[in-house]
């Protein structure tokens, strides 16, 4: 139980006090009414004695009475009605509420910290009022009147006569059979005569003379002169006199019977109501309780929770207000207060207590005489009870004889009367003895009502005995309660027992027994009593040594439910709120839902709308496990309450709605128009859309492309204020800077909603909430910040979604648009919408109700509230500095705060006839359409891609070459001319500069200028340009990114440029594989007399698997491109004009290449045609793709060489020397193989064209059309080593040195000589020496070399050189030197003349580089004899 203001002893003593009746004349009543008080009310604050009182017991022992209190009441001649008692108790509880701002008691139990009210004043008020309003009963005398005050005014004409009338009236009330109420203790009731004198108006001498006459008539012990009203009412209004009456008058007593109506709702008789003592229900209502859930909030109409109670509560509060506004005791001074206090003391000392003492003695004597005993009962009972005790019978064995009545003079009742008198004057030991005696007598007679009363008071007397000679007999109380409740059917007396016993058990810290006792008396007959007892039981559980928190909460819920049924809404709400502390956040979701729902209902009833909204909000935002129907009911209740709350303040700010959930971090913001769909052969640039998933790798590639083009525009540097263009912002993008948006272009915000409920939610009129501050960035003038309103559409247009349905437990995104019409700073705050539920929109099996949603298809149930939800996005956690790493700090996320910039051009790009599949190396012609859809012109249009070799817009020479008729017929992508049949196999020459194709201009090869006419695209204008595409050399699926860059003619401070993205997906299949090698020709002279030529071998293989429908490939032309070399002619044995290759076939082609004259820096193109049409390889698109592949090849080798740049630590002279020697083996020759493929597709034959490139760099080293894949070993051991700087070798390799000098022997293949005529045969031999390098070379020739191997001697005969056998020459760069030698033979045979050793070294170098020049082929000569 909760803590009480009084101790248990004080509570019990104040519950049972001597009752004194007051009977006043009309004049006396008029005197007291001048103070707005009746006589009984006038003396009530002074009825507690401030000093000890002494009296003697029947054994003449002195007995001390402490803190005695008496009760003075007006005589009421009819018993109180149960309905009035119920109303009184209801009102007492209703007006007693927890004080505002009262600090609750914090109880810590395990994981719980509970704020619980330590005291329950409403329970104490109920208990006090309940005990005071109990009707008098015949089986006990505690609430019978002991004495009667007769009060007459001194201003009466004949006060003595008036006293006589009052005395007769009292005698008639007590002894006449006409009146059965009130009850009197003994027939000879003490009469005390009080003369009331008004000091302010009456004559004091007359009053004194009357008082003297009274003393002579009634004795000094039986009368009193009370002087009051010493103060004039209208004087000294400012003087403050204490008002001790207000606290008593607020507790309306049952004696004010006339002010109450009968609230009986039953049709039982008055006697039945008195005997039951309960507030009964309509039978139908009682039966309904068992048909519904015990915790159901709604109650039947016949229950106590009716409008009458609400009216009664209101009327009581009104009366309280009137009472509190009316001054009491206005005519009384503090002296008058002391006079009244003195009067009560005199009455008690001189009248009441002597009368009680005398009555006790008389009763004791009567009992002794009747029992025939010689001693007093006081000693006799000790003897009786000290001996053997008769075992008490069990209650169950006793017959139901509660109807047995004793006559008033019965000895058993005299014992009970004596016991009650002793109890009232605190003589508990004697009272206990009498109760115990009476109890045995009653049990013997089986008078169960009397026995229960004796047991009850015996238990209380035993507890109150000073010194506690015996323990508290709790079993007495249990027996009494069971008897009252089960046998006597008197719940009022049972309730009194429980209240007394529970308080006693609480004082002994027996909280468990007290709680069980309180719970046992809860029943369906009185909701108010059950609620109060359950609440006290809950406090018992929490006040235990080991608090039982969950039991506390459970019984608080039960108490709250019963409070609600009793119409005590505030107390019900308080109980549920206290219990909520236990259930909240512990996983008891269903219990939590029930509590929140009830709190919401009760708060709404009490017009606490904020609390109601909060409670319903909790139901909806928790992951509810309720069935769909229940969730739908919760949602409807919430909407109804919310709507009521918003109607109270329609002009207030929009409330925050709890549903649906918004995943703020998943919010995406898209700047710009939606992408146009493809139209026929026209395909719009893919650009960026909200339908694309974010790819960090792709995003980084786009950023690098943009940086690359910006760097080229700004001559190699990126501006410090550069901000990469981000079209779509999400949780992965860099949102640390304010994004830029363009005026008049939409901003789309994608908001992710989640419906946690199992019922659909319907959002209507859904739009964005924003704040805008206009700014003119050119004038630097800030405007006034504007929030969204009705007239702001001229600043920012807002698009609303009329209906947005979210199905049960569905996550769905809504795309909301804003249209900025002014420049400035925009802040997107959140979303605003009407939240409602759909009527009957339960999804059918397999059918989504949101499919085909149309306006008006889903009918709202009429309940919807307008509110908002804010979009609050937390930025990324900072983790850069030490401070940020050691603390939790988050950076800004500005994706919802765009800056609206000035007008910018807007480009749209369309691709026409753009292929999706190509052969490797295939050339295809498409068209690109550029459209300016804005209102300002654009310029500086460029495109950048990581794969510039994939496409070209054509070089500057593209328009110079006319199309041949057959090329236009076959829709060829190449520029072709008809060839002369005589020129077959011979090279057709042309030249071109790399600058014509954008290569070698110093810019980045990836950044390509788009050749717009006049370099400007006007507003609304469009232009179509041809674009040639070449399939990548590697098969597979290729994603090729195009970034189109453009600027406005006007320069802006915020946005300098714009970009447009396009990703082309091309699937390539295998076509041809080309390998080529080049070697030096042994022939030193050619037709032109020059001594430098090479042989080129080209190996072509068809690696197509014919799955793509390719029948065969035709090699139609082989072209060379070089600054130093050119193809001269084809050395082809076959007579066919072209080479046909079916699947998996190969062909080898041989060509002769000669050095060409170096004219400026142009490339020489040599075309060897196998058909009858020459493809101009120096024109677009052939040359474009050649130069782009050349630049990509150069870039690849440059990256590799750049990795070794830090390793070059050798002397400069050695580097130059090595470079000169290396150049001898290098060759700068590029081969382009042009082909046609015949494809059968849909019974039609198509001709595809293409080209492959092979870059030849080194003599004798094989080159490929695309790099070969190197197979990695399966397992590689990890090696940890420190990289060392390996310098570039200063010595040239033998292979490089052997290529310095090219040698050739010229001699007759067969020589006839007559050995008979001359034994020695001399043959002239010419040794040609060619310097392959550009440097001056020292050459040494040694003819003394002999083959050492015996095998060589066996195959070839031995011969000797005649003449000078060693030569030392110096050859200038590219010089050819002829040396005449003579070989001497002695007999016929086959001889190898390739024996001279040639040594070479660079001039001014040491012999460190000298090495032999080996001839690659044997020079055989046949010597014949004639």
Q: Residue 1404 burial by CB count (10 A; 0-12/13-18/19+): exposed, middle or buried?
A: exposed
Q: Write the pLDDT tens digit of every residue in 957-976.
A: 444 444 444 444 455 777 77
Q: What is the mean pLDDT of residues 1055-1059?
A: 89
Q: Which residue has the higher pLDDT, 1256 or 779?
A: 1256
pLDDT band at 681 (very low <50, low <70, confident <90, very high): confident
CA 179, CA 58: separation in Å to the nearest integer? Answer: 33
Q: Determine the pLDDT at residue 1292.
A: 64
Residue 274 clears pLDDT 70, i.e. is over it: no
Q: What is the mean pLDDT of residues 701-721?
A: 87
Residue 316 clears pLDDT 60, i.e. is over it: no
Q: Determine the pLDDT at residue 787.
A: 59
Q: Determine the pLDDT at residue 47.
A: 92
Q: What share of the chain is helix, strand, coil (3-state, %, to 5)?
A: 30, 25, 40
Q: Determine the pLDDT at residue 793.
A: 67
The residues, ordered by sequence, that sit 6+ positions from 205 with a Cβ below 8 Å of its Cβ are: none
Number of C-beta neighbours around residue 980 at 10 A:
11
The answer, yes or no, to whether the previous bond of 871 is cis (omega within 30 of 0) is no
Q: Determine the pLDDT at residue 1195.
A: 61
Q: Which two tokens stand for residue 910?
A: 């369309």
Long-range contacts from 349-355, C-beta under 8 angstroms, 24+ separation: 349/53, 350/220, 350/221, 351/147, 351/190, 351/192, 351/221, 351/222, 352/18, 352/20, 352/70, 352/146, 352/147, 352/190, 352/192, 353/53, 353/55, 353/65, 353/425, 354/55, 354/221, 355/146, 355/147, 355/190
Q: Write the pLDDT tens digit of every residue in 324-355.
A: 557 788 888 889 999 999 999 999 999 999 99
CA 671, CA 818: separation in Å to the nearest integer? Answer: 10
Residue 223 clears pLDDT 50, i.e. is over it: yes
Q: Write the pLDDT tens digit of every residue in 1142-1167.
A: 888 888 888 888 888 766 678 888 88
Q: Determine the pLDDT at residue 1159.
A: 61
pLDDT band at 695 (very low <50, low <70, confident <90, very high): confident
> 């004082």: which residue's tokens?
507
Q: Which residue has the higher pLDDT, 721 or 1322?
A: 1322
Q: Write the pLDDT tens digit of every residue in 1240-1252.
A: 877 788 889 999 9
Q: What is the mean pLDDT of residues 813-839?
A: 91
Q: Which two tokens stand for residue 122?
A: 């409403």
Residue 1203 clears pLDDT 70, i.e. is over it: no
Residue 457 clears pLDDT 90, i.e. is over it: yes
Terminal Cα distance for the chain, rounded:
149
Residue 657 clears pLDDT 70, i.e. is over it: yes
Q: Write the pLDDT tens digit of every residue in 1006-1040.
A: 788 888 888 899 999 999 999 999 999 888 999 99
Three-state DSSP at 912 gives strand
- Beta strands (DSSP E) in 913-1056 are 917-919, 922-932, 938-944, 951-952, 976-978, 988-992, 1007-1009, 1016-1017, 1022-1030, 1036-1048
Instruction: List alpha helices for 469-608, DSSP H.
Output: 474-482, 491-507, 511-520, 527-542, 549-565, 569-583, 589-605
Q: What is the mean pLDDT of residues 120-130?
A: 89
Q: What is the mean pLDDT of residues 1125-1133?
A: 79
Q: Determine the pLDDT at residue 1261.
A: 86
The listed range with the strongest mean pLDDT (5-14, 236-245, 1270-1279) is: 5-14
Q: Determine the pLDDT at residue 1288.
A: 47
Q: Which residue has the higher pLDDT, 164 or 648?
A: 164
Q: Determine the pLDDT at residue 858.
A: 53
The residues, ordered by sequence, that sit 6+ positions from 289 with a Cβ below 8 Å of its Cβ are: 300, 524
Q: Determine the pLDDT at residue 1336.
A: 84
Is the alpha carbon torsion for 199, 205, 208, 214 positive or negative? negative
pLDDT band at 285 (very low <50, low <70, confident <90, very high): very low
Q: What is the mean pLDDT of residues 742-771?
A: 92
pLDDT band at 780 (very low <50, low <70, confident <90, very high): low
Number of C-beta neighbours around residue 290 at 10 A:
8
Q: Determine the pLDDT at residue 1075.
A: 93
Residue 266 clears pLDDT 50, i.e. is over it: no
The residues, ordered by sequence, that sit 6+ positions from 66 with a Cβ below 8 Å of its Cβ are: 52, 53, 426
* Mean pLDDT score of the chain: 79
* DSSP state, residue 486: I
CA 498, CA 150: separation in Å to the nearest integer? Answer: 37
Burial 1219-1228 (b: 16+ CB within 10 A, else e): ebbebbbebe
CA–CA distances in Å: residue 1286 to residues 932, 1202, 1203: 56, 14, 12
Q: Are 1137 and 1114 in contact (CB under 8 A)?
A: no
From 453-467, 641-655, 1005-1019, 1165-1179, the region with the lowest mean pLDDT = 641-655
The listed range with the strongest mean pLDDT (106-115, 381-390, 1350-1359) is: 106-115
Q: Determine the pLDDT at residue 659.
A: 85
Q: Determine the pLDDT at residue 387.
A: 40
Q: Determine the pLDDT at residue 4.
A: 72
Q: Determine the pLDDT at residue 1406.
A: 64
Q: Which two tokens stand for residue 777?
A: 């960035």
* DSSP state, residue 222: S
Q: Which two tokens stand for residue 512?
A: 């468990």
Q: Residue 946 burial by CB count (10 A; 0-12/13-18/19+): exposed, middle or buried?
A: middle
CA 785, CA 791: separation in Å to the nearest integer? Answer: 14
Q: Which residue has the higher pLDDT, 790 or 1288?
A: 1288
CA 773, CA 1018: separation in Å to the nearest integer? Answer: 32
Residue 1235 clears pLDDT 70, i.e. is over it: yes
CA 452, CA 494: separation in Å to the nearest integer? Answer: 9
Q: What is the mean pLDDT of residues 153-158?
A: 90
The residues, ordered by sequence, that sit 6+ positions from 1069 with a Cβ below 8 Å of its Cβ are: 917, 918, 919, 920, 1035, 1104, 1105, 1107, 1108
Q: What percent of the chain has pLDDT over 70?
A: 78
From 240-244, 1102-1106, 1301-1305, the region with the lowest mean pLDDT = 240-244
Q: Determine the pLDDT at residue 1334.
A: 77
Q: Determine the pLDDT at residue 399.
A: 43
Alpha carbon 232 to its chain centroid, in Å, reads: 73
Residue 259 clears pLDDT 60, i.e. is over it: no
Alpha carbon 947 to its chain centroid, in Å, reads: 43
From 83-87, 481-485, 880-884, 1196-1200, the region with the lowest mean pLDDT = 1196-1200
Q: Which two tokens stand for residue 8?
A: 């248990």
Q: What is the mean pLDDT of residues 901-924?
A: 91
Three-state DSSP at 645 gives helix
Q: Determine the pLDDT at residue 1000.
A: 45
**Which helix (H) or strand (E) segment is 1383 a member of?**
strand 1376-1385
pLDDT band at 1080 (very low <50, low <70, confident <90, very high): confident
Transcribe 113-178 into DSSP letters: EEEE-SB-HHHHHHHHHHHHTPPP-TT--TTSEEEEEEEEETTSS-HHHHHHHHHHHHHHHHH-TT
Q: Which residue has the higher pLDDT, 447 or 237?
A: 447
CA–CA distances in Å: residue 273 to residues 84, 213, 562: 12, 48, 22
Burial 397-416 (b: 16+ CB within 10 A, else e): eeeeebeeebeeeeebbbbb
Q: Determine the pLDDT at residue 289.
A: 28
Q: What is the mean pLDDT of residues 926-936?
A: 91
Q: Residue 187 burial by CB count (10 A; 0-12/13-18/19+): exposed, middle or buried?
A: exposed
The listed range with the strongest mean pLDDT (145-159, 405-419, 957-971) is: 145-159
Alpha carbon 1031 to its chain centroid, in Å, reads: 48
From 366-380, 857-871, 915-929, the region with the lowest mean pLDDT = 366-380
Q: What is the mean pLDDT of residues 829-850?
A: 66
Q: Which two tokens stand for residue 207?
A: 């009053």
Q: Which residue has the higher pLDDT, 1207 or 134?
A: 134
Q: Which residue has the higher pLDDT, 1052 or 1392?
A: 1392
Q: Determine the pLDDT at residue 1302.
A: 79
pLDDT band at 234 (very low <50, low <70, confident <90, very high): low
Strand pairing class (145-153; 190-198): parallel
Q: What percent of the chain has pLDDT over 90?
A: 29
């Amino acid at each position: 139980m909760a803590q009480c203001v009084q101790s248990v002893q004080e509570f019990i003593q104040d519950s049972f006090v001597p009752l004194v009746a007051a009977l006043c004349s009309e004049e006396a009543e008029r005197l007291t009414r001048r103070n707005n008080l009746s006589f009984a009310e006038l003396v009530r604050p002074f009825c507690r004695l401030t000093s000890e009182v002494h009296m003697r017991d029947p054994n003449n022992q002195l007995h001390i009475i402490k803190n005695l209190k008496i009760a003075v009441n007006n005589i009421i001649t009819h018993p109180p009605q149960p309905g009035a008692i119920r109303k009184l108790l209801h009102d007492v509880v209703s007006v007693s509420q927890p004080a505002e701002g009262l600090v609750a008691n914090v109880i810590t139990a395990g994981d719980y910290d509970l704020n619980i009210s330590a005291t329950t004043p409403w329970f104490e008020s109920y208990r006090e009022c309940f005990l005071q309003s109990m009707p008098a009963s015949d089986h006990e005398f505690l609430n019978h009147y002991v004495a009667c005050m007769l009060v007459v005014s001194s201003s009466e004409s004949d006060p003595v006569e008036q006293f006589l009338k009052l005395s007769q009236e009292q005698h008639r009330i007590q002894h006449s059979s006409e009146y059965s109420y009130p009850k009197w203790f003994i027939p000879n009731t003490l009469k005390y005569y009080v003369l009331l004198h008004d000091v302010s108006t009456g004559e004091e001498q007359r009053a004194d003379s009357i008082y003297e006459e009274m003393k002579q008539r009634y004795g000094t012990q039986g009368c009193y002169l009370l002087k009051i009203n010493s103060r004039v009412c209208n004087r000294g209004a400012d003087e403050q006199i204490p008002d001790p009456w207000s606290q008593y008058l607020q507790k309306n007593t049952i004696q004010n019977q006339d002010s109450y109506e009968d609230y009986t709702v039953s049709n039982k008789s008055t006697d039945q109501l008195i005997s039951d003592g309960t507030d009964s229900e309509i039978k139908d209502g009682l039966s309904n309780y068992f048909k519904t859930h015990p915790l159901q909030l709604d109650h039947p109409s016949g229950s106590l929770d009716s409008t009458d109670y609400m009216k009664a509560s209101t009327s009581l509060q009104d009366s309280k207000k009137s009472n509190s506004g009316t001054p009491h005791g206005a005519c009384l001074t503090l002296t008058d207060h002391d006079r009244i206090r003195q009067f009560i003391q005199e009455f008690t000392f001189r009248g009441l207590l002597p009368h009680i003492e005398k009555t006790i003695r008389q009763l004791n004597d009567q009992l002794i005489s009747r029992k025939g005993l010689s001693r007093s009962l006081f000693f006799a009972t000790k003897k009786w009870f000290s001996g053997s005790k008769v075992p008490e019978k069990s209650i169950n064995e006793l017959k139901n004889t509660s109807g047995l009545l004793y006559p008033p003079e019965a000895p058993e009742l005299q014992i009970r009367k004596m016991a009650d008198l002793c109890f009232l004057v605190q003589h508990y030991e004697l009272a206990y003895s009498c109760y115990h005696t009476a109890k045995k007598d009653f049990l013997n007679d089986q008078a169960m009502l009397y026995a229960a009363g004796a047991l009850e008071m015996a238990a209380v007397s035993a507890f109150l005995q000073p010194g506690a000679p015996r323990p508290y007999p709790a079993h007495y109380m249990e027996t009494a309660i069971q008897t009252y409740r089960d046998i006597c059917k008197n719940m009022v007396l049972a309730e009194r027992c429980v209240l007394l016993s529970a308080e006693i058990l609480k004082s002994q810290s027996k909280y468990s027994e007290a709680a069980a006792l309180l719970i046992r008396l809860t029943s369906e007959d009185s909701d108010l009593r059950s609620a109060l007892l359950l609440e006290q039981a809950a406090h018992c559980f929490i006040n235990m040594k080991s608090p039982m928190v969950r039991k506390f909460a459970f019984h608080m819920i039960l108490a709250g439910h019963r409070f609600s049924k009793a119409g005590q809404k505030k107390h019900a709400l308080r109980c549920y709120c206290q219990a909520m502390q236990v259930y909240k956040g512990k996983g008891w979701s269903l219990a939590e839902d029930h509590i929140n729902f009830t709190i919401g209902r009760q708060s709404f009833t009490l017009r606490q709308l904020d609390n109601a909204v909060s409670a319903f909000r909790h139901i909806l935002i928790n992951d509810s496990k309720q069935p769909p129907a229940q969730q739908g009911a919760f949602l409807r209740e919430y909407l109804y309450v919310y709507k009521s709350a918003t109607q109270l303040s329609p002009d207030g700010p929009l409330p925050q709605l709890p549903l649906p959930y918004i995943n703020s971090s998943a919010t995406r913001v898209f700047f710009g128009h939606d992408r146009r769909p493809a139209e026929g052969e026209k395909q719009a640039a893919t650009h960026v859309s909200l339908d694309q998933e974010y790819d960090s790798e792709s995003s980084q590639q786009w950023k690098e492309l943009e940086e690359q083009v910006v760097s080229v525009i700004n001559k190699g540097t990126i501006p410090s204020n550069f901000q990469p263009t981000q079209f779509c912002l999400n949780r992965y993008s860099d949102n640390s800077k304010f994004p830029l948006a363009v005026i008049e272009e939409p901003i789309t915000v994608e908001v992710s909603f989640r419906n946690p409920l199992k019922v659909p939610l319907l959002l209507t009129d859904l739009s964005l909430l924003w704040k805008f501050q206009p700014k003119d960035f050119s004038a630097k003038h800030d405007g006034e910040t504007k929030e969204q309103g009705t007239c702001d559409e001229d600043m920012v247009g807002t698009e609303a979604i009329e209906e947005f349905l979210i199905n049960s437990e569905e996550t769905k995104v809504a795309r909301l648009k804003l249209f900025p019409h002014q420049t400035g700073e925009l802040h997107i705050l959140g979303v605003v919408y009407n939240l409602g539920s759909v009527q009957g929109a339960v999804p059918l099996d397999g059918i989504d109700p949101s499919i085909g949603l149309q306006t008006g298809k889903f009918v709202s149930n009429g309940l919807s509230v307008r509110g908002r939800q804010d979009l609050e996005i937390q930025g990324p956690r900072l983790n850069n500095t030490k401070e940020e790493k050691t603390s939790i700090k988050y950076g800004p996320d500005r994706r919802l705060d765009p800056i609206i910039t000035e007008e910018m051009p807007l480009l749209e790009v369309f691709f026409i006839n753009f292929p999706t599949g190509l052969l490797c190396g295939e050339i295809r012609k498409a068209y690109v359409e550029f459209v300016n859809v804005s209102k300002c012109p654009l310029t500086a249009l460029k495109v950048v891609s990581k794969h510039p070799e994939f496409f070209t817009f054509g070089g500057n020479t593209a328009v110079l070459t006319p199309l041949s008729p057959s090329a236009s017929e076959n829709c060829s992508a190449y520029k072709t001319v008809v060839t002369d049949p005589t020129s077959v196999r011979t090279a057709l020459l042309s030249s071109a500069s790399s600058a014509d194709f954008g290569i070698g201009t110093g810019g980045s090869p990836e950044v390509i200028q788009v050749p717009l006419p006049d370099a400007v695209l006007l507003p609304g204008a469009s232009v179509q340009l041809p674009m040639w595409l070449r399939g990548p050399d590697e098969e597979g699926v290729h994603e090729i990114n195009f970034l189109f860059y453009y600027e406005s003619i006007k320069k802006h401070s915020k946005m300098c440029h714009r970009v447009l993205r396009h990703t082309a997906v091309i699937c390539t299949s295998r076509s041809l594989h080309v390998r080529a090698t080049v070697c030096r020709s042994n022939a030193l002279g050619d037709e032109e007399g020059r001594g430098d030529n090479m042989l080129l071998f080209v190996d072509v293989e068809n690696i197509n698997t014919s799955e793509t429908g390719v029948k065969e490939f035709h090699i139609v032309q082989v072209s060379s491109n070089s600054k130093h070399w050119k193809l001269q002619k084809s050395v082809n044995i076959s007579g066919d004009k072209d080479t046909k290759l079916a699947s998996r076939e190969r062909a080898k082609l041989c060509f002769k290449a000669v050095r060409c004259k170096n004219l400026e820096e142009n490339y020489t193109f040599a075309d060897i045609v196998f058909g009858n049409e020459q493809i101009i390889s120096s024109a677009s698109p052939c040359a474009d793709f050649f130069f782009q592949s050349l630049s990509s090849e150069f870039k690849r080798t440059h990256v590799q060489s750049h990795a070794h740049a830090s390793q070059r630590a050798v002397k400069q002279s050695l580097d130059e020397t090595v470079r000169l020697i290396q150049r001898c083996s290098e060759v700068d020759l590029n081969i382009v193989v042009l082909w046609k493929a015949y494809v059968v597709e849909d019974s039609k034959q198509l001709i595809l064209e293409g080209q492959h490139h092979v870059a030849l760099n080194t003599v004798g080293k094989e080159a490929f059309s695309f790099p070969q894949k190197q197979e990695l070993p399966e397992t590689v051991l990890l090696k940890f080593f420190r990289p060392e700087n390996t310098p570039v070798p200063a010595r040239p390799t033998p292979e490089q040195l052997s290529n310095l000098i090219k040698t050739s022997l010229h001699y007759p293949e067969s020589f006839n000589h007559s050995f008979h005529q001359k034994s020695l045969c001399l043959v002239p031999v010419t040794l040609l020496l060619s310097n392959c390098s550009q440097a001056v070379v020292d050459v040494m020739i040694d003819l003394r070399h002999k083959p050492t191997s015996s095998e060589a001697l066996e195959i070839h005969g031995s011969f000797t050189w005649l003449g000078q056998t060693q030569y030392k020459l110096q050859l200038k760069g590219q010089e050819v030197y002829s040396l005449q030698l003579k070989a001497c033979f002695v007999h016929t045979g086959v001889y190898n003349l390739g024996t001279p050793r040639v040594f070479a070294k660079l001039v001014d170098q040491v012999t460190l580089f000298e090495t032999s020049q080996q001839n690659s082929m044997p020079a055989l000569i046949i010597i014949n004899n004639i």
